[in-house]
Chains A and B, each alone.
Chain A
Amino acid sequence: MTFKKYKSLSDETLNALVDNEFPAAERSELLAHLQTDKVSKERACEISYLKDRVKTAYSDIPQPTSQVKVKIAKRHLYRMVSSVFFALVVVALAVVGLNGTYNSENNRSTTQTASSNDSQRLVVLDPDGRAQNLSQNNSEELRVVFHVSSTTRLSANELLDDIEGLLEQSIKDNQKIRVEVVAHAEGLDLLRERLSTEKPRITALSKQYPELTFVACLNTIDRIKRENGIDVKLISEAESTQSGVAYVVMRLQQGWLYIQV
């Protein structure tokens, strides 16, 4: 950081000086200047005094009681159990669905056999490095459904990074691919005209990759309307389905790779 040698120092410079933002040499020079500039010196003292008062005011703050900690821990545990329960339900439904499909195919044609060795195997690791769902894709086309049930600016950005990376890589490898992003509950914000932080990027990605589809849950839209009286407007790239969860289950039954966001 540098400063211009004015007769009187600017407020920004004085703030930066008090906040110790200048290298030692410049700081010394500025402090020497203050000896001859009473107005700036007085202002710097005011800023410094204010800074000290703020620091003191927050040096000893109320700490959360054990009751608060237990309450919050319970809420987080509840969230975790809910998501695990949901994941189990989805996996169970998928297994039932896949078995049904497999059996019915066997019944139709006894000459058809499952050739798992030829199929492409996908492994998705969660942040802890544990494998989530193993999915086998028997067709040549790679099909991935991203299930978005909550999102923030950070995770939405990360999600789109992953999707873009996946699409790029697949096209580069001449791998046919279809990707669907199904948004429901809080995740719907990703596709809401007013709330989406990633609208320009979604528009660009949709234009660039026809293989990519965004799907919004109409049940969530209805609930928002019912509970908050808000008419949700989706971004133009979003398609819709009555139930986001049912849609994801359907895709799982069809053998799509499932990634929960």
Chain B
Amino acid sequence: MIQISFKTASKRTFKKALEAHRPALYKIAWSWCHDVTLAEDLVQDTYARALKNRSQLKDLTKLKPWLARILVNLHADYFRAKKEYVELENKHLMSDLDPITLASREESIQLVRYAISQLNDKQRKIISLIDIAEFSYAEVAEILDIPMGTVMSRINRARQALKEQLENIERQQLEKQIEKKLSQTTPRLRRVK
């Protein structure tokens, strides 16, 4: 008899463990696409695949990085299937973000989100995995399937790029504000007889 069996943990235990990671996973997905529907869809697909392939996970304590790795692959598959990587990505990211009209209370938050949306995919992913999902460098190396040294150099470059983006946007905003103020305060010339 040839038997292909995939049982490791009981399905109920596994599902419970999955649910515990749902908010974190959704946050990662959302930080990549800034789109509620797409993020939820990616998380749902991640769950479906995780359930299907749960036998591959030998250690339940490594569930979160394992799920993140599935999410990374699904995200790449999604854009590869669409074959509209740049256009679609920009459309999703730009839809509700306008740096010039940002309200003051949410300004900093929106500014950072906008700046992150302007990074390339690799930079955005590594920042979200380390800063938002709080994975260690070793876990990120496993999730993205890259050497540890690459993780170190990539996070460094990503943060530098993010810093430059933020500075550019903030400078643009400042110039706009000054321009606006000047146009309001400059006295109109009066003809004197």
Whole-angstrom CA separation of A76 from B7 in the bound complex = 23
* Given known A-B contacts A50-B163, A57-B108, A76-B48, A21 and B116 have beta carbons under 8 A apart: no
Assembled-state Cα–Cα distance A51/B7 (Å): 40
Query: With A and B bound together, what is the CA distance between A47 and B152 in angstroms?
Result: 13
Q: Contact check, B36 vs A64: say whether CB atoms are below 8 A apart.
A: yes
Q: A64-B37, A76-B48, A158-B56 are in contact. Are A50 and B7 (CB under 8 A)?
A: no
Flag if B159 contacts A15 (CB, 8 Å). yes
- Contact between chains at A16 and B152 (CB < 8 Å): yes
When the two chains form the complex, which single residue of A61, A63, A127 contacts B6, counting CB atoms closer than 8 Å?
A127
CB-contact partner of B3 in A1, A123, A162, under 8 A: A123
A200 — which chain B residues lie within 8 A by C-beta? Answer: none
Whole-angstrom distance between the Cβ of A94 and the nearest chain B Cβ: 19
Q: Which of A67-75, A97-105, A110-118 binds B? A: A67-75
B31 and A58 contact, CB distance less than 8 A: yes
Say if the beta carbon of A195 comes within 8 Å of chain B.
yes
Instruction: Name the A residues within 8 Å of B152 (CB-CB).
Output: 12, 15-16
Interface residues of chain A, those whose CB is within 8 Å of chain B, are 1, 11-12, 15-16, 19, 21, 46-47, 50-51, 53-58, 61-65, 68-69, 71-73, 75-76, 121-129, 152-155, 158, 162, 166, 169, 186, 195, 228
Nearest-CB residue, chain A, relative to B160: A11
At the interface, yes or no: B44 with Cβ under 8 Å from chain A? yes
Stretch among B86-94, B125-133, B174-182, B183-191 lining the A interface: B125-133
Chain B residues touching A, majority SS: helix
List B residues 130-177 near A (Cβ within 8 Å). Answer: 130-132, 136-137, 152-153, 155-156, 159-160, 162-163, 166
Assembled-state Cα–Cα distance A87/B57 (Å): 27
**Nearest-CB residue, chain B, relative to A151:** B77
Q: Which of B3, B74, B108 contacts A125 (CB 8 A)?
A: B3
B60, CB-defined interface residue at 8 Å? no
- Residue numbers in B under 8 Å from A50 (CB-CB): 159, 162-163, 166
Task: Please state if B56 and A21 are interface contacts (CB–CB under 8 Å).
Answer: no
B residues whose Cβ falls under 8 Å from a Cβ of A: 1-7, 11, 26-27, 30-31, 36-37, 39-41, 44, 48-49, 51-56, 70, 73-74, 76-77, 80-81, 83, 108-110, 112-113, 116, 127-128, 130-132, 136-137, 152-153, 155-156, 159-160, 162-163, 166
User: Lowest 4 CB-CB distances: which A-B pairs, in order?
Assistant: A57-B112, A64-B40, A54-B131, A12-B152
Please pick, from B36, B73, B110, B163, the residue contacting A63 in the complex, using a CB distance under 8 A: B36
A contact face: mostly helix, strand, loop, or mixed: helix
Decide: B44 and A72 in contact? CB cutoff 8 A: yes
Which residues of the partner chain A approach B4 to less than 8 Å between Cβ atoms? 124-125, 162
CB atoms of B5 and A54 under 8 A apart: no
Q: Pull 5 A–B residue pairs with CB atoms less than 8 Å apart, ordered by A.
A: A11-B156, A19-B155, A54-B127, A56-B112, A57-B116
Q: Closest Cβ of chain A: how far from B18's Cβ, in Å? A: 14
Q: List B contacts of A63 (CB < 8 A).
A: 26, 36
Docked complex Cα distance between A72 and B112 (Å): 29
- Across-interface contacts of B110 in A (CB, < 8 A): 57
Tell which of A21, A65, A195 touches B80, judged by Cβ atoms closer than 8 Å: A195
Minimum CB distance partner of A124 in chain B: B4
- From residue A35, how far is it (CB to closest CB) to chain B in Å? 23
A residues in contact with B166, CB < 8 Å: 50, 53
Return chain B residues, CB-CB under 8 Å to A155: 49, 53
